[in-house]
Amino acid sequence: MLLRYRGSEGMLAWAFHRLSGIAIWAFILLHVLDIWLASVNPALYDEVLQIYASPFGRVVESLLGAALLYHALNGLRIIVMDFWPSMTRYHKQMWYANWVLFALIGLPILIQIMAPAFGAEPPFRFG
Amino acid sequence: MTARNPHSGRVRPSGSGWELAIWYLMRLTAVGLFVTALAHYIIVHFLYDPKDQTAQWILDERWGSVAWRTADWLMLAFVVFHAFMGMRTVIGDYTKGGVRTVLTMALYIGAIVLFAMGTIAVMTLQFPVQP
């Protein structure tokens, strides 16, 4: 569908929202299972955790974060248009604003998550 | 007649009742998840690193208070509703008839099982909490 309709921002916004939504749903299935594992078999959970902490796990978590952030920002855009229909006139501008926010919020988080995969300390330290 | 807007949300169902309630609840849980799920991701992946979050760490820190367990359970309730009702819309868009009914029922059963598993995990991980 993405290829058939070479298109407008509204259509792409919808397609990305759907794809990211399905991806997040699939992860929720995995995520509830793994946290359930923590309560029934903590040792096995700690082993699964090593996959999450591996370089491969960090790439997947970054992709998950990207899906989550896009879905969250575009979801707000949808709510704005649902409850203030006159804002629909600016749906393209809001979509581009979403991508600016996506980059500004996402980049520091991406660097923080991926740093250990390259043998570096996470740059932002807390506590 | 509903206006066709070039936006990416489901068009608000006309009339009142079940479908309209779901439409509103999708938006309500969306706002809830905007706060809880993004905060959760920031905590787990930005403030802390996954490699440190062992089962013992979850018991001592993450779920070391009833307040955090309650907040996480609320997030679970939001996300199970939002994710599974979202998938229901997807199934409704691409299937029809008996296939749609079977898939939707399977989806509801999956949602109930997942909600039960998450609830058990957040409530019983060596509950009551150690002082």
Q: In this predicted structure, what is the pLDDT of residue B48?
A: 93
Q: What pLDDT shows up at residue B1?
A: 32
Residue B82 token pair: 């939002």
What is the per-residue pLDDT across B9-19, written as a single tens digit (0 to 9) for each? Answer: 788 888 778 99
Are residues A27 and A35 in contact, defined by beta-carbon separation less than 8 angstroms?
Answer: no
Closest by Cβ to B8, choosing from A17, A38, A116? A17
Question: At residue B27, what is the residue type?
Answer: R
- Chain B contact for A126, CB < 8 A? yes
Q: At what angle do helices A91-114 and A9-40 cross, to 10 degrees?
A: 40
Chain A residues within an 8 Å CB radius of B120:
36, 39
Percent of chain B with pLDDT over 70: 90
Mutation site, B24, B45, B127, interface A, largest A CB count within 10 A? B45
**Contact at CB, A13 and B8, closer than 8 angstroms:** yes
Please compute the mean of the pLDDT values over residues B57-84 and round it to a whole number: 95
What's this model's pTM, rounded to 2 decimal places? 0.91
ipTM of the shown complex: 0.91
Query: Given CA atoms A23, B70, B38, B11 in this order, what sign does their dihedral have?
Result: positive
Output b/e per residue, B29-46; b: 16+ Cβ within 10 A. Answer: bbebbbebbbebbeeebb
Q: Taking CB atoms and an 8 Å limit, are B90 and A18 in contact across chains?
A: yes
**pLDDT tens digit sequence for A27-60:** 999 999 999 999 888 999 999 999 999 999 999 9
The verdict on A39 touching B (C-beta cutoff 8 Å) is yes
Chain B residues inside the 8 Å CB shell of A10: 6-8
The DSSP string of A49-99 is HHHHHSHHHHHHHHHHHHHHHHHHHHHHHHHHHHH-GGGGGGHHHHHHHHH
Mean pLDDT along residues B89-117? 97
A62 Cβ contact partners less than 8 Å away, ≥ 6 residues apart? A110, A113, A114
CA–CA gap between residue B58 and residue B105 (Å, rounded): 34
State pLDDT tens for residues B10-66.
Answer: 888 887 789 999 999 999 999 999 999 999 999 999 999 999 999 999 998 899 899
Residue B126, by phi and psi: left (phi above 0), alpha (psi -120 to 50) or beta? left
Percent of chain A with pLDDT over 70: 94
Q: Tokens 């969250």: give the residue.
A: A72
